[in-house]
Amino acid sequence: MDDPILTIEEREAINSGRWFSSLSPSLRHDILRCAYVKRYKDGELIAARGDVPEEWIACAKGAVRVSSTSISGKQVTLTYVEPGIWFGDVAIFDGDRRTHDAYAHGDSTILCVSRGDLRKILSEHTELYEAMLRLHARRIRQLFGLVEDLNTLPLRARLAKQLTHLVRSYGVTSLSNASEVRIGLHLAQEELAQLLGASRQRVNQELKAMEREDVIRIEPGGLVVRNREALMRIIEADN
């Protein structure tokens, strides 16, 4: 059964989100006042492509894997929504159905606002319209950046960029070595390859090369970044 209350860590993840923290205190209060909590186990379906959008959603713990299914039936991961990020509003605004599937990646907690409550909040806080425009503009910039990277950067640089992003979002500093950061989000190499638009074999080759250069360390439980400055040099060398 869902625990109706966010933990202290989950609430902090929501409140510290870059976009949400930019809202006025009264708007944040009204959003949280009508929001409700849902918890999912790893791999559980949160929303399906074709669903009628009934909720505006924020990730509070874990991650939400957004995916699509190819004509051949292969599932392709498009992105991972990290704690503090809100999503699912586009379908509510345009009145169309969900365009992608969303699954819990690891044990995850989401915070939901019903479509009716969102419309009520919009009518009471006109500030939210401009805030939503900023949110959508940021997504468009990110999308164009991804397309540009895919068409202009070699796989090595794209991989370094993705690892830098994962460190920023899910990095856990090693207690034994402060210069090392473990990526808390566990991704199989196939999942990492899908994010980069490359084959698993090519991503594996680049990871092995970075490991030989002491930039990262590959462990059974995931990846450890040993040299963040080296990752930045890889990115900057191809920009």
What is the mean pLDDT of the segment spanning 85-114? 94
**Dihedral sign for Cα atoms in the order 14, 122, 35, 87:** negative
What is the CB neighbour count within 10 angstroms for residue 139?
12
What is the mean pLDDT of the segment spanning 54-67? 96
The residue among 4 and 227 whose pLDDT is bigger is 227
What is the mean pLDDT of the segment spanning 181-205? 92
Give CA–CA dist 18/148, Å, rounded. Answer: 24
With a cut of 80, say whether residue 73 has pLDDT above it. no
Q: Structure tokens of 157?
A: 């640089």
What is the mean pLDDT of the segment spanning 85-98? 92
Q: Nearest CA to 111 among 136, 133, 88, 140?
A: 88
Give CA–CA dist 231/235, Å, rounded. Answer: 6
What is the mean pLDDT of the segment spanning 21-38? 97
Q: Which of 32-41, 117-126, 170-179, 223-232 bottoms out in mean pLDDT, i.e. has the lowest?
A: 170-179
Tens-place pLDDT, residues 102-134: 999 999 999 999 999 999 999 999 999 999 999
Tens-place pLDDT, residues 171-190: 988 877 888 999 999 898 89
Tens-place pLDDT, residues 3-20: 678 999 999 999 999 999
pLDDT value at position 71?
A: 76
